[in-house]
Structure 1
Amino acid sequence: MFFASDAKSKLIVSANQIHDRLVTPERIKNNQLSGQAMLLINDSIREIHSYRRGEIWGEELISFEDGSPKFYAFKTDSVNSTFHRIYNRQRQIVEEMGDPLVYMLIGGGKTGDTLDVKFVFVDRIFSSMEVECNINGRGYSKIALTTDKEFAPCKVFHYVEDVSGLNRAVLLFKMFCKEMNNGEIKEYRDTLDLSKKPGMADK
């Protein structure tokens, strides 16, 4: 579904519930909608804005006139982000904060002896991404990233483990990301120390 403001630009609305409603910030907030709104000009994506349950949350993308990225971020609200990049017109990165592991949602069994965690990764700005994980010192191995309706279009690693004999789990991540502009592989690392005790918050 799209709403055309002129012959050369259009707003594409996608994902979950947003597609079947008039897209205004007030309507998104009042109806607690989730999804992405994309502004296309001459079939080139100029902007992406994301929402979760009516609030700003997820990918934000601003592009130059040629469609190359100018600003990319994963927003956790209207102000804060866990990952962002700023590019110049030569497609070079001039500022970066964080890494592609942008969010985690922690659940758990009723007894507290199960760790149930969804790790969310962003890969839109890369031509490819591979992730390896070392869980509790067992050594690194490649993990499969999947799609998840709640976090689409981001990728998710769903980790579930019985930790009845442990008080914590330590996960070490290595992310190998291929840059779109020059094909170089950039490596990111992240460490997450998880307790099975109640009261854990989202990343």
Structure 2
Amino acid sequence: MKLVFATHNQNKFIEIKSLLPDYIELQSLNDIGCTEEIPETGETIDENAIIKAEYVRNNYGLDCFADDTGLEVESLAGAPGVYSARYAGEDKDDRANVIKLLSQLEERDNRNARFKTVIALNLKGKQSLFTGICKGKILSEPRGDNGFGYDPVFMPIDSDKSFAEMSLSAKSAISHRAKAFRELIDYLQR
């Protein structure tokens, strides 16, 4: 089975490819010749995942899935949320996003947060959504060199390591993205 993963993010592509069974041939946007950035104009994480999946289906006619992920911090009323990738500006600078987040949490005791991933699958003319959530807290400073985005400052519940201190396999066992993709894989295997 061929499926397009509607992403240009190579880190995310590698992470997801490692989760999928061998019988699924995964292609990225670059693999299908889609070089443009798909506009993420939704007001929710769910809407952005749907928009990206619809873009691939409408413009390329291929079975595909798209995800959107946001970091939701309790004491910031759910921010950065849908704006997680662009929290510090349109250039999607991971380091700048982390710096802004830490500065906004400087005077706050409540550092509870969660990552939320939503996957929109367009397969044989039908759309399905899958959600994964990982709860944790925001650390006071970055730790670790693995991962991307907010991984250096997010520590999941029941862990003493940030996502960036974990191996890819350890992170994949508990992450929001892995949970959503396990739901997707279960669905594809039925």
Q: TM-score, normalised by structure 2?
A: 0.33
Larger radius of gyration: 1
Higher relative contact order (CA 8 A, sep 6+): 2
Greater share of strand: 1
